[in-house]
Copies of this chain bind each other. A is one copy, B any other.
Amino acid sequence: MPKPTFLNLPPDKRRRFVDAALNEFALHDYRAASVGRIVDAVGIAKGSVYQYFDGKLDLYRYLVDLAAETKFRHIDARLASDAPDFFSQYRQATFHGARFDFSEPSYASLLYHATYEPSAPETAEVSARLRAASHAYLLGLVDAGVARGDLRADIDRDMTVYALYQLTVALRDFLGARFGFSFEDAVHAGAGSPIGDQDLSAVLDELVGVLRHGLALG
- Which residues of chain A have a CB within 8 Å of any CB of chain B? 28-29, 31-32, 86-87, 113, 116, 119-120, 145, 149-153, 155-156, 158-160, 162-163, 166-167, 170, 173-174, 177-178, 203, 206-207, 210-217
Contacts and interface: CB of A to CB of B under 8 A. Distances in A.
Binding site of A, secondary structure by majority: helix, strand, loop or mixed?
helix
A216 B215 contact: no
Given A31-B31, A32-B119, A159-B206, A215 B152 contact: yes
Contacts of A207: 159, 163
A152 B149 CA distance: 25
Nearest to A90: B215
**Stoichiometry (number of copies):** 2
A114 to B, nearest CB: 12
Contact of A160 (B153, B170, B215): B215
A207 B164 CA distance: 12
Contacts of A151: 215-217
18 contacts: A32-B120, A86-B215, A87-B216, A145-B215, A151-B217, A153-B217, A159-B174, A159-B206, A159-B207, A160-B210, A162-B174, A162-B177, A163-B167, A163-B170, A211-B215, A212-B215, A213-B216, A214-B214
